[in-house]
Structure 1
Amino acid sequence: MNKFAMYGKLIAHPGQRDALVQTMLEAADQLDSMEGCELYIINVSENDPDVVWITELWRDAEAHAASLQNENVLALIQKCRPLIAGAEPIKLRPVGGKGI
């Protein structure tokens, strides 16, 4: 299995989480039709009012890398930058389970 998964923890500047979520939902809409993107879910933390979690599943690491070259994706990343105080990407290699 060559799938690529990633959890991204985005820490918004205080009071900016909702604005960050809205921009990330725009990204999710664009990824809906992007080749290789199988899952892209925006989550908010129940315990931290500034944290947004992104759950991603891609056909493979190359599809994920290609998405980061897309001009619309790059524009949304730039739009998000002022809202983000910190980020922690967690890259994974799925090995099986329901939904894979």
Structure 2
Amino acid sequence: MVGRRQFILWLSALSLSPFLSKVSYAKQEGDKPMYGLIGKMLCIDGKRDELAQILVKGIAGMPGCLSYIVANDNSDSNALWITEVWVDQVHHKESLALPSVQEAIKQGSPLITGFGERFETTPIGGQSL
């Protein structure tokens, strides 16, 4: 049974969703489209948590990054999914030169055994964008 407080919170969030979607969609209407990547990273057996921590730690302070999500693959204990959203492709490319990202690459590379699927996308909006 849903309590009164939970119901009110849920109803408030629902009533705000049209406004939130308009705000997030407006980001796409600028000069450049947003840039997105979704990729699967494979690692050494038993090292997934260590690699995930390195990736999450290495993303601090990336200008132009709207979202960077590291997630465990539920069907492969040696795989991670990385989902990224950037204000544009230029910011993504420039992020690779950041000291924190270079350090993450240095620390994480020995744990990576390969890459699976990789998809480039053009995000158009959503929650947290």
TM class, shorter-length: 0.7 to 0.9
Give the root-mean-square deviation of aligned CA atoms: 1.4
Larger helix fraction of residues: 2
By how many angstroms is 1:97 displaced? Answer: 4.1
Counterpart among 55, 70, 78 of residue 83 in structure 2? 55
Contact 2:48 2:77 in 1 (8 A): yes
Residue matched to 1:26: 57
The gaps in structure 2 that reach 5 residues or longer are 1-27
Name the amino acid aligned to 1:64: H
TM-score by structure 1 length?
Answer: 0.87
Larger strand fraction of residues: 1
Residue matched to 1:77: 105
| Larger-Rg structure | 2
By how many angstroms is 1:98 displaced? Answer: 2.4
Matched residues in 2 for 1:46 and 1:80: separation?
21
Name the amino acid aligned to 2:36: A
Q: What CA deviation, in whole Å up to 9, does each residue of 1:9-57 have, x standing for no partner?
A: 11011111111111112123x1xx3220000011001111000011100
Residue matched to 1:13: 44
Aligned length: 96
Deviating beyond 3 angstroms after TM superposition, the runs of 4 or more aligned structure 1 residues are none
Matched residues in 2 for 1:27 and 1:8: separation?
17
Q: Percent identity?
A: 31
Q: SS at 2:77's partner residue?
A: coil
Q: SS at 1:85's partner residue?
A: strand
